[in-house]
Amino acid sequence: MTLVSRRVRPDQWKPIDVEALEENAMDVVRSTDNRCVIAGPGSGKTELLAQRAAYLLQCGIARPPRRILAISYKRDAATNLAVRVRSRCHPDHAYRFDSLTFDAFAKSLVDRFGQALPERWRPRPDYQVVVDATDRTFDNFLRFLTPPPEIGSRADIIAVHTKDFQRRWLFGTPLPEGAPRISNAAEWAADRFWQSWLHEGKSTSLTFPMISRLAGLLVTSNPMVGHALRLTYSHLFMDEFQDTTQAQYDLVKAIFFGSDTVVTAVGDNKQQIMRWALAMDDPFMPFEAEFKAQRTPLIHNYRSSPDLVRIQDVLAKALDARSSTPVSKTKGTVSGDSCAVWDFTTPGTEAARLADFVSKQMAEHKLDPRDFCILVRQKAGDYMKVLEPAFAKLKLPLRNEVELVGNVTLQELLVEDLSEYLVVLLRLFTSVRAGRHWTTCLDLMCTLLGLALDDYAGRAKVVKRLNTFESDFRNTYPAPLSDPADAKEVVQLLIAFIGRANILAASPAYRQGDWFDKVSEAAALHLEASCKSAKNWSEALDEYEGAYSVPLMTVHKSKGLEYHTVIFVGLDDQAWWSFSNDKIEATAGFFVAFTRAKQRVVFSYCAQRGDRSKIAALYQLLTEAGVKTIKIA
């Protein structure tokens, strides 16, 4: 399809690359008011936003030079949305679409304008981003605090729960311009935390929630910053809105509330599984009230078969009785039960049967290993030890996608910009026939260098550089690497070829702290491991990307992904030990796991791992939906 740069009349515009959108989706695409879109699993949330961006840009409703800002919770979601917009819009339009994560957006503000913050809250320019702060981080901080007698006692500090400390006292409200009013020990402890992390020690350390709060203060204390952002962006998209934290919501409100920027928030309150990570209990309610946003549901499900959608509806109504009944827009392709609970007596029997099932289903339906996914609640490594030998016996590699490579999980590494750049270059430099790798690589390099499509001289220079580097690389590394030092050297060579400055310019998350170094280190380690048993570079890069491995991951890491068949291992009290602490979030996690599947879901229970009395409510939901339990000897 040829993408045109001319303007299209709104009444003549049609959805691009899809046959049609459901009526409510088209209504949102053409809307001129703030919208709160409740979009269930498989409803095409990303596609909706991509089509809305195309409509606004191509019809001139988002008038130049103003831009569209899309903010997503996860990095891969932000990247996916940007790719879809570029594939549906001419570059003259697509360049005015900015797709960032909430964290990257907040960080970009602090990086650009942070030195304008009040001195009390001003981070040092070379601040470090702490991406691995856990409850223990805050526990350890509180453990050694003793407040002034006029504020409280040591016992008052001990009484502060870690999660409450973060959610309520540290990040629960906007920062004041001056010193906060302190009336209790928790407020004093929160201020001590801020001041120690900002100003004490060799450098400033900030978590992303802290960065969001500093960005919010930046906007409120410097009105011109907010004014500039409102002038820049005519439209704002917020994806995965159910995972929005209070700090993130307050930042958006500080910038865009009361402005002419039209806001479209898309999410699903039934998939809220990030309250442990400080997500608001219900961000939809304040957004609808304060931004006068109209709630619009999407009911079509383009992912799952009719039978799976029917079961999903039972689970959805347990989370929200008002939820709309979804309509499947795809066909069932498997015979037998599309969902069942398999009841095993031993982990060994379970592992052997699941491996055999995947192998036979691949053959019967002509599927790839990555059409399947093994999901677990937690402790993926423990399940990996039991399952991996059985899968290996059938020559089916099983890969723990949440395993740490250096300081980065494998799943995180594979969606990192730097990792993707390295793979694109290596595919070109090591392929016998360049083919599509050449076009992909050329486009990538021209984009990173900021070259226009009609900059023929600039593009010719890139072509020459690629040809020269490719020849040198093939001569130096004709076969997969065997030395750890070589893997590090190759990664650094490729970074130098792209230009570190170009990578940092394209990826804001790399500009501060040591995240860039952690990702490059992880890439080298994973590249070395991927080369060990590979006969050639193609096999090594396939291993790097896990092209022929069955992925194993946790429920939280599966969000936003989809597979032909999902196998959930460990539906028992031991895996779901915290179920009674927050039944709503646990049930939402159960719902998320179920809705990753297109055609089949298998729940696997093994009596030797634990009872299932504490999670009886989940089994009751499956029973109500007509899901059978099958005992397997």
In the annotated binding site for ATP, the residues are 39-46
Chain centroid, CA 441 distance in Å: 24
Chain centroid, CA 457 distance in Å: 38
Integer Cα distance of 291 and 227 in angstroms: 18
Backbone φ, ψ for residue 630 (5° rounding): -115, 120
- Which residues fall in the annotated binding site? 39-46
For 174, other C-beta atoms within 10 Å of its C-beta total 17
Would you call 163 helix, strand, or coil by DSSP?
helix
| Pairing state between β 128-129 and 97-101 | unpaired
Tell me, letter by letter, the H, E, C secondary structure of 479-531. Answer: CCCCCHHHHHHHHHHHHHHHCHHHHHHHCHHHCCCCHHHHHHHHHHHHHHHHH
Integer Cα distance of 272 and 288 in angstroms: 17
In angstroms, the Cα distances linking 616 to 343, 348, 406, 568 are 15, 25, 39, 16
Integer Cα distance of 458 and 270 in angstroms: 49
**Phi-psi region for residue 583, left (φ > 0), alpha (ψ -120 to 50) or beta?**
alpha
Instruction: Kindly give the residue spans of alpha helices, DSSP state H, lying in 159-305.
Output: 162-164, 185-199, 208-221, 223-232, 246-256, 284-290
Integer Cα distance of 150 and 9 in angstroms: 68
Instruction: Kindly give the residue spans of alpha helices, DSSP state H, lying in 67-134.
Output: 75-88, 91-94, 102-113
Asked whether the beta carbons of 312 and 304 are under 8 A apart, the reply is yes
Integer Cα distance of 420 and 426 in angstroms: 10
In angstroms, the Cα distances linking 605 to 1, 223, 331 are 49, 57, 28
In angstroms, the Cα distances linking 533 to 126, 268, 530 are 41, 43, 7
Token reading at 160: 């502060």
**Phi-psi region for residue 130, left (φ > 0), alpha (ψ -120 to 50) or beta?**
beta
